[in-house]
Chains A and B, each alone.
Chain A
Amino acid sequence: MIRVVLRRLVYLVLVLFVITLLTYIVFFVGNPNDLAARFAGRDAGPAEIRDAAVRLGLNHGFWYQYWHYLTGLLHGSFGLDFQNQVPINSEISRAFPVTASLVLGAVVIWLLIGIPIGIMSATHPRSLRDRAGTTFALTFLSMPTFVLGVLFLLVFYYYLTRAGLSWFPAAGYVGLTSSPGQWFLHLILPWLTLALVQAAVYTRLIRGSLLDVLGEDYIRTARAKGLSRRTVIYKHGVRAALTPVVTQLGIDIGTLLAGAFVTERVFGLPGLGQLALNAIGAADLPVVAAIVVLAASFIVVMNTIVDIVYAVLDPRVRLA
């Protein structure tokens, strides 16, 4: 157990090293003076550009910059951003709750939709219900998130509001602490947008793995021993079928927590995704690097959690 965590940590460090390096390379390739010039302000002369370079530490060259960034990371600090010279940590702590609200709510919804439909399809393969589930999955699988979001806004916000039914608020975000009700209302459409596409994936995943499991010998044995169909499906089958779901969930949550770019953009939610998009647009290197680091960390951490959950779900898996 401890060994797993340690190994994962080493892996995390390796990944972080590689991807921060890549991020820095991507941004530094070419001339760092470009970067300095961008932040020196409009109509900046050479002197101002040099000032900006000094201010941002760009005069020190690539490796110094990178090293500086790494040591900052070790102290838990992402440093200052290029644009406004504010601590990135505070920007992130403002944006993270938004993304977390969006993602965690969506996770609940997509599991609530995906798992039952998947189980239903698998337990009645080729039935009408299975077809319906399949059609659902197929529709949303082929629906890019931003298309779904944009159409939701059009129908549920504009058309409903114009019809006099102001059920859903316009795009935007209200903090949970300032008004739980508004928080909820503002997030309904983003949640559904994010969740429906994912629910489709999970429907397929669960249907596949459950059919797999139900075909296995030990399940047949359990049936033969006279256990009821229900017991077999829910106590034995679903439990085992959840393993691939857990893996996928770990990956998804990890990836999304670092920013659900599209959903945030469509609904104007000031989360990490928006922060990243803005930073990328402004070539605000430290912010981009910070979010890349966060993303990779989330992914690796979630993978570790998945491994542990595995061991709990499936007693055959031992943590080496």
Chain B
Amino acid sequence: MTTTEVDLEAQTSKGDLLLEVQDVAKYFPVRNNALFNRAQASVKAVDGVSLSLRVGETLGVVGESGCGKSTLARLIAALHPVTSGRIRFKGREITTLDRRHMRPLRRSIQMVFQDPYGSLNPRRRVGSILSDPFAVHTQMSRAEMREQVRDLMSRVGLSPEHYNRFPAEFSGGQRQRIGIARALALRPDLIICDEPVSALDVSIQAQIINLLEDLQDEFMLTYIFIAHDLSVVRHVSDRIAVMYLGKIVETGPVEEIYSSSRHPYTASLLSAVPVADRAFKNGRKARVILSGDVPSPQNPPTGCRFHPRCPKAQAICSSAEPPLEQKPGDPVGHLTACHFPVEAGEALALASREPTDAEDAEAPDAAGEQS
């Protein structure tokens, strides 16, 4: 995995190295009911992820629900201890820090949460919620805090007069603005946005994303931007990492991923991207069929974890795990973990072994359309 890191570094040049994640894993122990059976099973939510990030950059992380995106975010934000691996922030190892030493670092890494309803305490007024960062990290007086909060509110497009309202009195989009204001309060270096718009109406999504972009320019922010589909991240990201069952299966510059994705999983995700970005065929969206459900991360498939659903899978896929590496012909920084990467113009949907939905299977040729 070290090669990965080197490659990534080589690729990014926007600013100084801000974050390095090295082979990080998080296993959640699962309690099985049998009292005396202590054989511990575990959910391998994140299983050997490496990535790095430079100042001012935005990394998009995509993957289906349950693939470990949020867990990865929490590991980076030090909300969970890692099971193994290392995380360095500004060159400093943070996985081994105790609570007290972690505290100042929390100023620099902040999160925007997925659920604008769940992430704001329904029993507290917005002004009070937004003064939290100052109350925890500074010695400001109440009046100063109030001033700061009002300033923050207007920066994210909220009316400072609504200082005394409860979260329930705001719309979803406004609530997400509050969440962003809270993350922004201490002027962090890195903000991890965990699906910040997926709970919002499409029309409001764009506003929130624009807001995030404006703030990035204004405050030199670095983002990790998580989403479960590719269309959202395309707009904001410089680079993209595609996750599947706790692992990164493909990563590279955003246009690389969109124009010439190599991993069958990425290709199928791309084919699921709706309308605007996609080519139409006979007035209908072209789709690759992913047969079956996401396997349980408690008991991931052997070899390539994607093999039970992969249209291109062959014998070796179930036994040998493909390394995340640069494939021939790809530019530096475009890495794929697949034994049989998708070739340009390849008709992937036809390779689908078990189309579950005959109707959709009629529309072939998804990934190929891209190139």
The short answer to whether A and B are in direct contact, CB under 8 Å, is yes
Tell me if B35 is interfacial: C-beta within 8 Å of chain A: yes
A residues near B34, Cβ cutoff 8 Å: 320
Kindly report which residue of chain A lies nearest to residue B34, judged by CB atoms.
A320
Chain B residues lying within 8 Å of A320, measured Cβ to Cβ, are 33-35
User: Contact flags (1/0) for A290-320 with B, using CB distance below 8 Å?
Assistant: 0000000000000000000000000000001
- Mask, B15-36, CB within 8 Å of A = 1, is 0000000000000000001110
Cα of A320 to Cα of B32 in the assembled complex, Å: 12
Q: Which residue of B lies closest to A318 (CB)?
A: B33
- Size of the chain B interface, CB-CB below 8 angstroms: 3
Kindly state the separation between the CA atoms of A320 and B37 in the bound complex, as whole angstroms.
11
Min CB–CB distance A284 → chain B (angstroms):
42
Q: How far is the CA of A320 from the CA of B33 in the complex (A)?
A: 9
CA distance A268 to B33 in the complex (A): 50
Query: Which residues from 218 to 266 on chain A have a C-beta closer than 8 Å to any C-beta of chain B?
Result: none
Main secondary structure of the interface of A (DSSP, over half): loop
A157 CB to nearest chain B CB (Å): 55
- B38 → A minimal CB distance (Å): 14
Min CB distance B35 to A, Å, is: 6
| Least distance between A302 CB and chain B CB atoms (Å) | 23
Given the complex of chains A and B, what is the CA–CA distance between A320 and B35 in angstroms? 8
- Give Cα distance in the complex from A244 to B34, angstroms: 24
Q: Measured between C-beta atoms, what is the minimum distance from A312 to chain B in Å? A: 20
Distance of A309 from chain B, by nearest CB (Å): 21
Question: Min CB distance, A253 to chain B, in Å?
Answer: 28
By a CB distance below 8 angstroms, the chain A residues around B35 are 320
Q: How far is the CA of A188 from the CA of B80 in the complex (A)?
A: 63
Task: Render B174-197 as a binary contact track against A, CB cut-off 8 A, 1 for contact.
Answer: 000000000000000000000000
Chain B positions 95 through 133: 1 when the CB is less than 8 Å from some CB of chain A, otherwise 0:
000000000000000000000000000000000000000
Scan residues 147-189 of chain A and give those whose CB is less than 8 A from a CB of chain B: none
Contacts of B33 in A (CB 8 A): 320
Residue on B nearest A320 in the bound complex, by CB: B35
Docked pose: A320 CA to B34 CA in angstroms:
7
Give the shortest distance, in Å, between B36 (CB) and chain A (any CB).
Answer: 9
Indicate with 1 or 0, residue by residue over A31-50, a CB within 8 angstroms of chain B CB atoms: 00000000000000000000
Measured in the bound complex, the distance between the Cα atoms of B34 and A229 in whole Å is 38
Complex: A117 Cα to B298 Cα, angstroms? 48
A317 to chain B, nearest CB (A): 12
1/0 contact string of B29-69 vs chain A (CB within 8 Å) = 00001110000000000000000000000000000000000
Task: State the Cβ distance, A83 to closest chain B Cβ, in Å.
Answer: 47
Complex Cα gap A309–B204 (Å): 56
A69 to B252, CA, bound (A): 77
In whole angstroms, what is the CA distance A49 to B63 when docked?
84
CB distance from B226 to the nearest CB of A (A): 34
Distance in Å: Cβ of A139 to nearest Cβ of chain B: 36
Q: How far is the CB of B142 from chain A (nearest CB, A)?
A: 47
Shortest Cβ distance from B62 into chain A, in angstroms?
Answer: 35
Taking the nearest CB of chain B, how far is it from the CB of A10, in angstroms?
A: 13
Nearest CB to that of A7 among chain B residues?
B35
A117 to chain B, nearest CB (A): 37
Q: Which residue of A lies closest to B35 (CB)?
A: A320
In angstroms, how far is the closest chain A Cβ from the Cβ of B34? 7
In the complex, A61 Cα to B33 Cα: how many Å? 47
Q: How far is the CB of A1 from chain B (nearest CB, A)?
A: 14
What's the least CB distance linking B39 to chain A, in Å? 16
CB distance from A122 to the nearest CB of B (A): 31
Instruction: Give the interface of B toward A (CB within 8 A).
Output: 33-35
Which 3 residue pairs of A and B lie closest in terms of their CB atoms, listed nearest first? A320-B35, A320-B34, A320-B33
The chain A residues found within 8 Å of chain B, CB to CB, are 320
Can you name 3 A-B residue pairings with CB atoms under 8 Å? A320-B33, A320-B34, A320-B35
